[in-house]
Structure 1
Amino acid sequence: MSEEQPLSQLQQTEELLLNVQEMQFWLDKAVAWGQADSLDTQKDTCLHMSRLRDFLQQLLTHINSMSSTTETMKRLPLLGQFLGRLCWNPYVTASDTSRGLLLGCLWGLYSEPPSNAVERKANQWIQKVLCQLATEEDDAAAQALMKHMGIPAEEYHLKVLRKKVALLQENVGQSCSSLNNQRCSCVNIVDIAEACVPLVTCPEASSLIGVLLQRPVTCVREALSEDFLDSLASAYSSQGLALEEQALISLWYHSFSSLEESVLSLLQSVITTGSTPQKIEQQVAQSLLPKACAQHCSIFLVVNDILRSIFKQAEGNESVKTLVQTFTKCFLRELAPLKPQTSISLKAFFPQSPSSLLVPLLTMPSEMPQGAWRNHLNWLSSSLQRLTEEEEQGDGDSRSSRGHHNVFEAWFLLGQCAHWVQVAVQLLVTSGPEDIGPLLWLLTFYHHPTNRWHHRASLLARAKEAWKDIYALFSVAAHPLPSDRVQSLVTLVSPQPEQQSLAPLLTVSLLVNVAVFCQLPLSGSTEILQTVVDQSGLLDEAACVLSSLELRLNEGSCLSSDPVHLRIKALQNTITQTHSE
């Protein structure tokens, strides 16, 4: 054993000497190839290419066997100069095999994390070589090759870029192979992502970016860098980057700042354009946000928090309310087919909402018989009343803040599921002279969540008064219209500065639904609706209610030839004509 040890050391010394001598030979060749552009140089390069690839393969094996980049550079001090010259030689990099071996050597030298100044400097140099290899346009050798082969510069660099992307993409598919103290292959993923930073706006790199974003994370060393994600987010927001659906969803999953920007962009688009409910639904669906939220609970929680904050700040903004309701509806639609494949409960998506209200509110009206709607709404109304009573009784003690929170979350969930509010208005018109108290209470709570104690009782009394006037006006076919009742309605509908005035949209909703569902001839309903909304200046609000009603009925069993649908169209035409006059 003592005799074998010196022999082993001798073999290592001879092997190292051989490597250094052979690298000096190839470095001399690389220098000669880069200093002259002649037919003889090209022939010499082609003649030695096979042997060069063999040496590069040996070199790659040697690099991977070293414990660190520092040790490798100590044993092979000419390594950096050698690799650098070859990377800028287009006759060498034109071969996929040679190019792959060069990139493998560079990645093998990359240190994560660098342990000293030598390794930090090597990392910077490697990143520079990887980035510029695909984007440099002034390389003399490349220009010589393009001139000799008659290839336009743009075409040459495009081919170089495509080759680089293809090689990088091959390495992305490798799974984590970290064993004991061996180098983890996931470090390469981080390196590849860093190499993509200057390429994020190149269409040729979009497939590689998509693969990087969608690669399952199996190792803590595999996390994509902030530089890479920030570059993608910036390029996407400036429309300099096109991503496929799943790649965009993955970007949102990795970068919450990009997700927030997309949500705020959608919100701004809806508010500034004053879109109809139909157009808002189209905008929401095209944004891909509901689909992303259905696939990733974490994305939904971020989006929902943003919408919750906006919903609270813009209590009277109907565009915001419509956006929140539409988003929730589209999200539930995307979530439905995924439910058999996921064990995530609704509570995970809505952790702050009162548990007892989750399923009743998130259930769509189309999912239960129409005959059960009334009892369902009565139960919802009584449950919400209990929550508000508990809040009021808790004022003055430690339970008060918890009560406020529960009531707000219940109101927000009701706003997300406002289809039940729309059904409540419809039932007020179509159910006959039954007890309207629970339904009106639900409506006043939806439109006035922050009014408590005697304010809520006062508002409920005013809602009953408005309903009585509307019902009486549509119950008779008097002509001309009774001016006193019309004026009373106009006063109730018109915005009032006083604190206890009804929200205009509450009365407009009642008015529009009665005009649609009542038994009065269409001409009479049209005259009443037109007169009241025209005098109160709420034509836009009436048009919005009609559009929302049309959208909800179209999602059910209401056909375009249905009498109700025809009445809606006629009323919409009247509102539009009045608005244009």
Structure 2
Amino acid sequence: MAQDSEDLVSDYQFWLQKLSVWEQASSKETQQDTCLYLSRFQEFLRRMYEILKEMDSDAILERFPTVGQLLAKTCWNPLILAHDESQKILIWCLCCLMNKVPRTPGESELNSWIRGLLSYVLSAFRFDMKEVGLFTKSLGFEPIDYYPSLLKNMVLSLVSELRESHLNGLNTQSRKKIILSTSSVVSLWFRHFPSLEKATLHLFEKLFSSKRNCLRGMECCIKESLLPQAACHPAIFRIVDEMFRSVLLETDGAPEVLAALQVFTLCLAEALEKENKQLKFALKTYFPYGAPSLTAALSQHPEAIPQGHRLQPLLHISQLLREAIEDSTHGSQRGPFESWFLFVHFGGWVDLAMEQLLRKEAEPPAGLLWLLVFYYSPQDGSQQRERSMVALKELLNRLLMLLGSGPLSAVDLQEAAESPSPPICAQLVRCLLLSLLLWTPEGHASAREAITRMVHTDAAAHEIVGFLDQTLFRSDHLCDEASRKLARELLQELQAQV
């Protein structure tokens, strides 16, 4: 450490002089010089922090008597502060100078001065008061109340955490979390979008890092993240939604990502209901690429529709989706994908469509067949989709005939599921079979044997576990108590195997 300290002293005067030059001139050449040296200066700040965090404030001022001057000049340089990494390291260094328990008026005065610098770094750099007023008003704050509470929470938490070795690499059991009020966190995300992106990525890590996260667990993680509350404002929702879109594309529509997006949408709807009786913003501001009529239809609560009145809204949604896709610009993939991406936010409609198709007293409506084929195979063209609809109808008719011809045989069900021609999406076939086994009384007796035959790979097992978990998550409006009990038992048995 002594050698590091000596090396730092040799660079110290160079950077203090550089900062003075940058401070005195705002010419294009000065700006270019600042940008040229920025990465080296960040490295210097990081090395300084590594030294400062090992010293108490008295020793710091004795060793580096002008360190406050250097950090202040850094705070007032907009080109340095414009870089998130610089802001972060600068805050660390400033917190090292603070006395946790000031003993003299001089130490109290130093703490007050440092808080002023932190206030500038954390708040004043990004916005002037007029701009602050625009977004604090939408959150129900007055600007005069926003800065003091935000700063007080952040500074006290940062100082406490830094002093408890949170940032020095020690793994202590006593290190405390930074705790901010919900309003302060949301306000920070409005002011600094990179912190919002980091919070969303952290949520994704929690949701997708484990083998299988149940939907109730996902719901708990999502609510604890505060992101649904923040996403009530369209500006934040759009950022989080774009990140979901990217993960969906990168994972080729992985079921766990779809499930997380749908749970997040449910949590957002709940937060909106708690926050206001009616939307402050039009639905178009949340989903700008979807047709307003389609967005309005999808945003209804499907579970609130009485059992005998569910077919009509489903057919209406199917028609609107089909029109949106067929009317999209020739050769453009934006229309179909955007329509699908909007649709998958509201997965409850897919469950209702499956339920309606399994009603034995009705001919399968073409609109519901189209809806399911589109949901599970959005990449198909119109001709392939039509062929899949024909095959799905044939499969459905075979399954319904088996239902009406006495006790169900697991072997017969398997043979029926393997015979669609042309082949249709395997995931759609499995979901149709599982729905029949769980949601119809006739299917309960052969459910265990049929599912055992379907679990031939780890991927299939995880998919079935996901379906059972989803059934229980949405069971209030999907199935009766007998179906829920069977789903719970099967889920426990399968989870013990995978």
Counterpart position of 1:420: 349
Asked if 2 retains the 8 angstrom alpha-carbon contact of 1:425 and 1:510, the reply is yes
Counterpart position of 1:569: 488
SS of alignment partner, residue 538 of structure 1: helix
State the 1:472 CA deviation: 3.7
State the 1:287 CA deviation: 1.2
State the 1:326 CA deviation: 0.9
| 1:482 to 1:519, Cα distance in 2 relative to 1, 3 A | closer
SS of alignment partner, residue 259 of structure 1: helix
Counterpart position of 1:289: 227
| 1:168 to 1:304, Cα distance in 2 relative to 1, 3 A | same
- The CA distance in 2 between the partners of 1:457 and 1:330, in whole Å, is 35
Alignment of 1:502 onto 2:424: yes
Counterpart position of 1:117: none
State the 1:520 CA deviation: 1.1
Counterpart position of 1:31: none
Please say which of residues 351-360 and 530-539 is displaced more in the overlay.
530-539
Alignment of 1:410 onto 2:339: yes
SS of alignment partner, residue 339 of structure 2: helix
Asked if 2 retains the 8 angstrom alpha-carbon contact of 1:469 and 1:485, the reply is no
Counterpart position of 2:466: 544
| 1:557 to 1:383, Cα distance in 2 relative to 1, 3 A | closer
Q: Which amino acid aligns with 2:446?
A: G
The one of 297, 300, 303 aligned to 1:363: 300
Counterpart position of 2:284: 347
The one of 520, 526, 532 aligned to 2:442: 520
SS of alignment partner, residue 430 of structure 1: coil
The one of 486, 495, 506 aligned to 2:414: 486
State the 1:512 CA deviation: 1.3
Alignment of 1:122-133 (within 5 A): 131=94
Where does the alignment leave 5 or more consecutive residues of structure 1 unmatched?
A: 1-89, 91-105, 115-126, 137-153, 170-187, 198-212, 493-497
The one of 84, 98, 103 aligned to 1:135: 98
Asked if 1 retains the 8 angstrom alpha-carbon contact of 2:471 and 2:478, the reply is no
The one of 296, 301, 324 aligned to 1:387: 324
Asked if 1 retains the 8 angstrom alpha-carbon contact of 2:437 and 2:443, the reply is no
TM-score (norm 2): 0.65
Asked if 1 retains the 8 angstrom alpha-carbon contact of 2:290 and 2:342, the reply is yes
The one of 274, 277, 287 aligned to 2:215: 277
- The CA distance in 2 between the partners of 1:427 and 1:448, in whole Å, is 20
CA deviation vs aligned residue, 1:22-49 (integer Å, no higher than 9, x gap) = xxxxxxxxxxxxxxxxxxxxxxxxxxxx
Q: Which amino acid aligns with 2:261?
A: V
Asked if 2 retains the 8 angstrom alpha-carbon contact of 1:447 and 1:506, the reply is yes
Where does the alignment leave 5 or more consecutive residues of structure 2 unmatched?
A: 1-57, 59-68, 78-89, 125-138, 170-175
Compare CA radii of gyration and give the structure with the larger one: 1
Identical aligned residues as a percent: 22
Q: Which amino acid aligns with 1:566?
A: K
SS of alignment partner, residue 280 of structure 2: coil
SS of alignment partner, residue 432 of structure 1: coil
State the 1:483 CA deviation: 4.1
CA deviation vs aligned residue, 1:400-429 (integer Å, no higher than 9, x gap) = 43xx32322211111001111111111212
Asked if 2 retains the 8 angstrom alpha-carbon contact of 1:290 and 1:327, the reply is yes
Counterpart position of 2:358: 429
Alignment of 1:460 onto 2:397: no
- The CA distance in 2 between the partners of 1:490 and 1:449, in whole Å, is 22
Asked if 2 retains the 8 angstrom alpha-carbon contact of 1:490 and 1:533, the reply is no
Counterpart position of 2:193: 256
Asked if 2 retains the 8 angstrom alpha-carbon contact of 1:515 and 1:526, the reply is no
- The CA distance in 1 between the partners of 2:441 and 2:467, in whole Å, is 19
- The CA distance in 2 between the partners of 1:570 and 1:348, in whole Å, is 43
Q: Which amino acid aligns with 2:438?
A: V
CA deviation vs aligned residue, 1:365-407 (integer Å, no higher than 9, x gap) = 133323221100011112212222224xx53xxxx43xx3232
State the 1:332 CA deviation: 1.0
SS of alignment partner, residue 364 of structure 2: coil
SS of alignment partner, residue 353 of structure 1: coil
Alignment of 1:58-457 (within 5 A): 131=94, 135=98, 156=102, 192-194=119-121, 216-217=142-143, 241-273=178-210, 274-294=212-232, 296-340=233-277, 343-391=280-328, 394-395=329-330, 400-401=331-332, 404-430=333-359, 432-457=361-386
CA deviation vs aligned residue, 1:119-153 (integer Å, no higher than 9, x gap) = xxxxxxxx99x9589536xxxxxxxxxxxxxxxxx
SS of alignment partner, residue 329 of structure 1: helix
- The CA distance in 2 between the partners of 1:532 and 1:557, in whole Å, is 22
Q: Which amino acid aligns with 1:192?
A: S
- The CA distance in 2 between the partners of 1:254 and 1:483, in whole Å, is 60
- The CA distance in 2 between the partners of 1:367 and 1:348, in whole Å, is 25
Counterpart position of 2:133: none
CA deviation vs aligned residue, 1:192-222 (integer Å, no higher than 9, x gap) = 344999xxxxxxxxxxxxxxx9974489x99
Please say which of residues 355-364 and 157-166 is displaced more in the overlay.
157-166
SS of alignment partner, residue 424 of structure 2: coil
Q: Which amino acid aligns with 1:368?
A: I
Asked if 1 retains the 8 angstrom alpha-carbon contact of 2:388 and 2:424, the reply is yes
- The CA distance in 1 between the partners of 2:419 and 2:457, in whole Å, is 10
In the alignment of these two chains, the number of paired residues is 385
- The CA distance in 1 between the partners of 2:430 and 2:122, in whole Å, is 59
| 1:531 to 1:249, Cα distance in 2 relative to 1, 3 A | same
CA RMSD of the aligned region, Å?
A: 4.6
Asked if 1 retains the 8 angstrom alpha-carbon contact of 2:388 and 2:423, the reply is yes
